[in-house]
Structure 1
Amino acid sequence: MSSSETTPVRQSRPIQGRVAQILNARELVINIGAEAGVTKGMKFAVMSKSPTEIRDPETQEVLDTVDREKVRVRASEVRPKITICRTFLVRTIPGRPGYSGFSGISNLLEGIRLSESVPERKVVDTLRADERDLPPPLSEEESYVKIGDRVIQIIEDEVAPF
């Protein structure tokens, strides 16, 4: 490798900032930009204000706390001191065309009208877990993204589906 080539350096600590402005239902502005090391495509988690206590199931001792995220966003426009970010996580579930022959009889038996088509839809992946094992949901007040909420860069790559 020549001296003019560089190897990408992986950050050891995530970049952190705050929500500076909410633009619309999918976009917000954070108070960090290129001067802080943000680049287009970086992902950030908008965090809840209160962490969740993790207790030992046998002793009920508080072992630690875990931050809960409200939403993930990706940097779409980076300026020197701010970054505009957009939501991005979706999963597509294929649709189904309407009636096309005798196969529609099984749909009729299942209570689906023969001529009804089901459009493709996008949903967020979730964990399958017993409701009793989940922490209480964020309160309605705390679930809203607000100016001043913490944002933390997501450094690790997302796992691709199997």
Structure 2
Amino acid sequence: MTDAHEHLRIIQIVNDREVAISGGAEAGISGGDTLLIQGRPVDIRDPETNEVLGQVVQTKAVVKAYDVKERFALARTFRSRRVNVGGGGGINSISRMFDPPKWETRTETLRRSPQAGDPLLPDESVVEVGDRVEKFTGSADDVPSSSVWR
């Protein structure tokens, strides 16, 4: 991460897929950039000595910048996957076991629970105002995320 990106943070949660990020074009963010929303660092300790061996940072969500202003940027979730919400032998319901599969494409959200209602309340979001944001240059498919699929 470069010095220009040190200050990138979530400044507002817009909805269940979109956030506003501090530091837009002046911080080097461009439309289409992949951004990692990260949690607080967690100490990794030796269980015998309790010595801190280092820290890890969890990626809470992965978003792409789509509307970049000079001092802030809007970004949204973009990863999707196909899920079977119909039959086809799943273990969810024996009565639907012999129904044909019904595939839907679902986009990753920032919700803790896919059943949460609108609007997105702060305790329902996996990200928080103030969370660190880091520009990512690798493949977005290689980044783990704890976001909820719905």
TM-score, scaled relative to structure 1:
0.59
- What residue number does 1:74 align with? 64
Higher alpha-carbon deviation: 14-23 or 76-85: 14-23
Amino acid at match of 1:117: P
1:152 aligns with 2:143: no
- Unaligned 5+ runs, structure 1: 1-11, 99-105, 125-139
Amino acid at match of 1:30: I
Could you say which structure has the higher strand fraction? 2
1:153: how far off? 1.1
User: Structure 1: how far apart are the matches of 2:107 and 2:27?
Assistant: 33
2:16–2:125 contact (8 Å) kept in structure 1:
no
1:87: how far off? 0.8
1:54–1:66 contact (8 Å) kept in structure 2:
yes
1:52 aligns with 2:42: yes
- What residue number does 1:13 align with? 2
- What residue number does 2:99 align with? 116
1:96–1:120 contact (8 Å) kept in structure 2:
yes
1:23: how far off? 1.0
Out of 36, 49, 69, the residue aligned to residue 27 of structure 2 is: 36
- What residue number does 1:135 align with? none
User: Structure 2: how far apart are the matches of 1:96 and 1:22?
Assistant: 33
2:34–2:140 contact (8 Å) kept in structure 1:
no
Q: How many residues align?
A: 124
- What residue number does 1:91 align with? 81
1:123: how far off? 7.6
Residue deviations 1:80-139, cap 9 Å, x none? Answer: 1110000122222467788xxxxxxx99xx945476233214487xxxxxxxxxxxxxxx
TM-score, scaled relative to structure 2:
0.63
- What residue number does 1:22 align with? 13
User: Structure 2: how far apart are the matches of 1:123 and 1:21?
Assistant: 20
Check 1:95–1:142 CA distance in 2 against 1; reply closer, same or farther (3 A cut). closer
Check 1:154–1:86 CA distance in 2 against 1; reply closer, same or farther (3 A cut). same
User: Structure 1: how far apart are the matches of 2:126 and 2:85?
Assistant: 31
